[in-house]
Amino acid sequence: MELRLYDTLSRDKRAFVPLDASNVRMYVCGPTVYDFAHIGNARPVIVFDVLFRLLRHLYGEAHVKYVRNITDVDDKINDRAARDFPGLALNEAIRKVTEETGRQFHADVDALGCLRPSVEPRATEHIAEMREIIERLVKGGFAYVAEDHVLFSPQAMNAANSSLPRYGTLSKRSLDEMIAGARVDVAPYKRDATDFVLWKPSKPGEPSWASPAGIKAEGRPGWHIECSAMAWKHLGEHFDIHGGGIDLVFPHHENEVAQSCCAFRRERMANYWMHNGFLQVEGEKMSKSLGNFITIHELLKDWPGEVLRLNMLKTHYRSPIDWTMKSLEESAKTLDDWYRVAADVEPGKPAASVIEPLLDDLNTPLAIAAMHGLRGGDVSALAGSLRLLGFLSESAAQWEGRKQQASGVDATEVERLIAERTAARSRKDFGESDRIRDLLAAMGVAIKDSKEGTTWEIAR
């Protein structure tokens, strides 16, 4: 069976044919590093990690290049730096904010079982490429300089008589409607309301670089140009897959396409545009004001990263997810069980019943259902399938031990009580044996009697 992926641009599921099977190339928009990542931000990271793993499985580890950027130039970063480190020079404060947030992001996504991408470019290290693209756009008549800004003109793009895509195609918006619906209080330096910023002047004290297009004052890039530049540097003018959350389709990805296609005179930037659906919490949009804003960092205090990972993958990546405590508890139970039966087993080849749904536009809920099916049968195929999907990073004993530690249960005390209960049972004192079982249950310990003796685990 072949891999099929849903492409936001063509609005259909198509066979995936890489431009070069020995170098399959994927770009995913990464975090803006100014604060802890929330559980919604974890969704694209986990979803595209699964795709990365699947592509490596299909084309070979050495033949897949995955680029996920770090946005370290942004107004939100500047504001956070000024607020958190008022005593420091702004540039130094910004470095502190981006370094600390970047470190935290890595700790979070490592714990979620995500492989590091092949390259993690930082915007601040690609200013030269941004300037180069901007110069090309100005020369080509797609962008212009006004009051030390450089602006991209979607109308110039659509007026060009060439094989360029039309602005608005990715997000299925018509430029005419955008023009008609534009706000009245448009920045005075814009020729048209729909023009967007490629480069702008920096305020005093803000990070700044030599400007392109003959502008004397120093400045800094807009957000969209950052991704066009980093994708170009690491993946070339035209590559296979570009991903991110559904909220990025417009304007971010629409503008990336416009910049890259006009600068390189290409019909396409990426052949497949993939977007994950949004995550909400207990039926509500996640927001700071509703108080249901959860960071990955906080969740990891209560749940192993693999539980969060499984919980994310139980929903197809294009559907919205409702993130609930109930579903987390179920995911934890499932993983407890899989760890018990499969973690210490020699992993076999991933099962065809698991790979096939993954090939169908990453149908992870069906793949998970197939793994439930393997549980009572081919556990070595279950182990192999789980590993392919980024699970079973620990041994069964480590997993159980972590659960015990997190629960605060004293294992020695539990063993002592179980020995007492065994003694009571052998002298047929069932009243005492039941009392001890209830005591253990109250401590959060579940016991199981079999011919081999009594085993126990932390009840979820």
8, 32, 334, 385: which one contacts ligand AMP (CB under 6 A)? 32
Contacts to ligand AMP from residues 34-73, by CB under 6 A = 40-41, 43-44
Scan for tokens 């008022």, then name that residue: 86
Contacts to ligand AMP from residues 242-271, by CB under 6 A = 244-245, 247-248
Q: Which does 145 bind (CB under 5 to 8 A by kind): Zn ion, ligand AMP, none?
A: none
Check if the beta carbon of residue 335 is closer than 8 Å to that of residue 375: no
For ligand AMP, the closer CB: 276 or 404: 276
Between 86 and 125, how does the x/- string for binding to ligand AMP read (CB under 6 A)? ----------------------------------------
Contacts to ligand AMP from residues 282-301, by CB under 6 A = 286
112, 279, 359, 392: which one contacts ligand AMP (CB under 6 A)? 279
For Zn ion, the closer CB: 71 or 364: 71
Scan for tokens 């431009």, then name that residue: 19
The one segment of 119-127, 200-208, 274-282, 356-364 that binds ligand AMP by CB under 6 A: 274-282
The count of residues in the chain is 460
Q: In whole angstroms, how close is the CB of 150 to ligand AMP at the nearest point?
A: 23
Distance CA 309, CA 306 (A): 5
Q: In whole angstroms, how close is the CB of 72 to ligand AMP at the nearest point?
A: 12
Closest CA to 199 of 184, 226, 219, 224: 219
3-class secondary structure, 123: helix
Q: Does 278 bind ligand AMP (CB under 6 A)?
A: yes
What residues contact 225, with CB distance under 8 A and at least 6 apart? 130, 133, 134, 198, 199, 259
Q: Which does 247 bind (CB under 5 to 8 A by kind): ligand AMP, Zn ion, none?
A: ligand AMP
For ligand AMP, the closer CB: 322 or 378: 322
Binding site for Zn ion (CB under 5 A): 29, 227
Q: Which does 31 bind (CB under 5 to 8 A by kind): ligand AMP, Zn ion, none?
A: ligand AMP
Instruction: Retrieve residue 48's tokens.
Output: 């595209």
Q: Which does 227 bind (CB under 5 to 8 A by kind): ligand AMP, Zn ion, none?
A: Zn ion
Distance CA 379, CA 339 (A): 11
Closest CA to 283 of 330, 324, 328: 324
Distance CA 429, CA 385 (A): 46
Q: What angle do CA 439, 442, 444 make, to 5 degrees?
A: 115
CA quadruple 145, 146, 149, 153: dihedral sign: negative
Q: In whole angstroms, how close is the CB of 152 to Zn ion at the nearest point?
A: 15
5, 9, 31, 165: which one contacts ligand AMP (CB under 6 A)? 31
Backbone angles phi, psi at 25, to 5 degrees: -120, 130
Count of residues near ligand AMP by CB under 6 A = 15
Closest CA to 253 of 138, 172, 356: 172
| Pairing mode, strands 24-28 and 239-245 | parallel
Give the interface with ligand AMP as residue ranges (CB under 6 A).
29, 31-32, 40-41, 43-44, 244-245, 247-248, 276, 278-279, 286
